[in-house]
Structure 1
């Protein structure tokens, strides 16, 4: 497998009819070139929802979900289809991300597919032993962005890669739909974005390919993981101050 690299702040063209054979599309990195498994045998990791969780698999060391892809759409924040206001502070490695329950969803906070996946993952992130943390799914963070292309302002079809996250805290909250005024329960996550400077502020998607391989245990599947992720797996929450992404602005050169 040759490397398929995504760098933090890369803008990817997200078009459902895109060919997985083309590395770029419309001048941007092609999402469907980077994300699929090399032999195209596994289902695509889509971004059609806010929370996108591929199926779990039975690995040699237990059941694991290979990855969870989170997408935030700032341009829809506060609308009926997206009543949440996520916050991204990538320079300090912090993201506050809301679950996918809405005012019109019946049932409890864990009945939607996305929240169910996050609730299932949370005990692995909060675990005090390395064996459970090995099973925790990396959170791939994306947010929709507006681009100027061919003289047009496009609010759909492009996403920014925002790094890899660890759930640091999960909380049950009550929110209010800004359109209807109805209150509804939901989840909110505090996510630590891990440092990937050892890989050029990027990740190698072969890491995710390995995590989707049921023949590999979770430790073997981390051979392409960022060093910060592996350190968090070994040490847990106490490692977060040392593995969190932190970008210190350079000195001003203007006068």
Structure 2
């Protein structure tokens, strides 16, 4: 049986495992039922399943279920707040000690997680294979009810452990506890569907680790082989779903946009620095074409551009209630069939100061890795690919009575280029 990240289950009390669904939601107790062992529970924050003997006679913990209750944060029961960022493959979860003066390593949940951490970071594959899968849940509110509806948030491995001192606001006291940082594994190869039978098979007395792992997510199997150094590349990243495919960044073969882009590239092939003026026009249209919030500045001179090809500003508000943001633009007239280099993006971002906005305009396209870095690191930079450049130029020509064709427009841009050149500091745009 498969469940997806984000699925809300029904956790009914008293437990009843007879029905597949309860009240329209998949029944947690039906999903996890196993006649050979005690049932899995979500009564506590950390819920380790009981150890059993596998076929080799080793004592193995089949799984650990983690449950977070946002509605209880700051209470005497849960005087902390867990952090779930599953879309970026990260969860920070606080252990189950709340008693001052108590060794937090002796709390039952902490004890189980510390053991899992030791196993998962072993350099021995056989030891790592004994690591219990850690499954994450978060209590959802359904029809105003905040109990009995756990939402599945994926599978993970402990990345790091930190001993922390926490403060209980209600009881006005401090206590020591553990903070666990988990890496949530990617299950994209399984189409975001988690095979729960893998967990149930691990709960059968005398089970084989090798055989049961055949139904484990591919990221889990890869981690078993490669160890903790592979966790970052196996991390769940929903940003992948936001990436613009290469095919959508290039004009359709044989289309008018492809003809326009080739004409632009060929025009600037031997004078690529002059593409900068066109790039700013495109950037202005992308940022805002109707309300005029973008104000042109200048094209920088090659010997003193400080890493920027054009400078402009965005004006938000008016009068006293106005703010101006510097726009630092980078333009690259690049080969149409090769992605723009990530190092160029990195250099542009490195030159942005607080409150600045970056724009990168290319006749090429952006690879998945470049887009992912921009999305995940939340860089304040706008990426404009070749297809968008061609489409905007075609619209300019179509909307204008001044230009008969694309070449007329490019020639006009070229004539204005010398007057656009200035040798100034970017901050001077705020005085214009």
TM-score with structure 2 setting the length: 0.54
Structure 1 position 61, deviation (Å): 6.2
> Residue 211 of structure 1: which of 190, 202, 221 is its match?
202
The counterpart of 1:247, out of the listed 225, 238, 244, is 238
1:192 pairs with one of 183, 196, 214: 183
1:162-211, Cα deviation, whole Å (9 max, x unpaired): 00010010111111112122111111111000011222212112111221
Question: Alpha-carbon deviation of 1:84?
Answer: 1.9
Aligned position for 1:64: 60
Q: Deviations over 1:34-72 (max 9, x none)?
A: 1112xx332111000000011112221622111000000
The CA distance in 1 between the partners of 2:6 and 2:174, in whole Å, is 34
RMSD between superposed Cα atoms in Å? 1.8
* 1:12 corresponds to: 9
Match of 2:129 in 1: 134
Identify, as 1 or 2, the structure richer in strand: 1
Q: Which runs of 5+ in 1 are unaligned?
A: none
Change (3 A) 1:103 1:215: closer
Structure 1 residue ranges, 4+ long, deviating more than 6 angstroms after superposition? none
Q: Which residue of the partner structure matches residue 158 of structure 2?
A: 167
Alpha-carbon distance in structure 2 between the residues aligned to 1:68 and 1:200: 23
* 1:234 alignment partner, one of 225, 231, 241: 225
- Using the TM superposition, give the Cα deviation of residue 18 of structure 1 relative to its aligned residue in structure 2, in angstroms: 4.6
Task: Kindly indicate whether structure 1 or structure 2 has the higher relative contact order, using CA contacts under 8 Å at least 6 residues apart.
Answer: 1
Say if 2:14 is the partner of 1:22: no
Change (3 A) 1:95 1:186: same
Task: State yes or no: 1:88 paired with 2:84.
Answer: yes
Q: What residue number does 1:35 align with? A: 32
CA distance in 2: counterparts of 1:185 and 1:72, whole angstroms? 19
Distance in 2 of aligned mates of 1:212 and 1:54: 9
Using the alignment, how far apart are the partners of 2:46 and 2:176 within structure 1?
17
1:120 equivalent to 2:115? Answer yes
The correspondence for 1:154, drawn from 145, 148, 155, is 145
Q: Which structure shows the bigger proportion of residues in helix conformation? A: 2
**1:54 maps to 2:45:** no
User: Could you tell me how far 1:118 is from its partner in structure 2?
Assistant: 1.1
Conserved in 2, the CA contact under 8 Å of 1:210 and 1:222? no
Partners of 1:163 and 1:202 within 8 A in 2:
no
Contact 1:5 1:34 in 2 (8 A): no
Higher mean displacement: 204-213 or 65-74: 204-213
SS, match of residue 165 in structure 2: strand
Give the whole-Å Cα distance in 2 for the aligned partners of 1:78 and 1:178.
7
Q: By how many angstroms is 1:251 displaced?
A: 7.4
Distance in 1 (alpha carbons) for counterparts of 2:6 and 2:117? 26
Distance in 2 between the 1:235 and 1:28 partners? 37
Larger radius of gyration: 2
- Determine if contact 2:186/2:237 at 8 Å carries over to the other structure: yes
2:36 partner SS: coil
Deviates most, 58-67 or 92-101 = 58-67
Q: Whole-Å Cα distance in 2 between the matches of residues 77 and 55 of structure 1?
A: 28
Residue 17 of structure 1: SS of its match in structure 2? coil
Q: How many residues align?
A: 243
SS of equivalent residue, structure 1 residue 45:
coil
- For residues 105-152 of structure 1, give each alpha carbon's deviation from its aligned partner in whole angstroms, at most 9, with x where no partner exists: x6311222111111222110111121111000000100101112xxxx
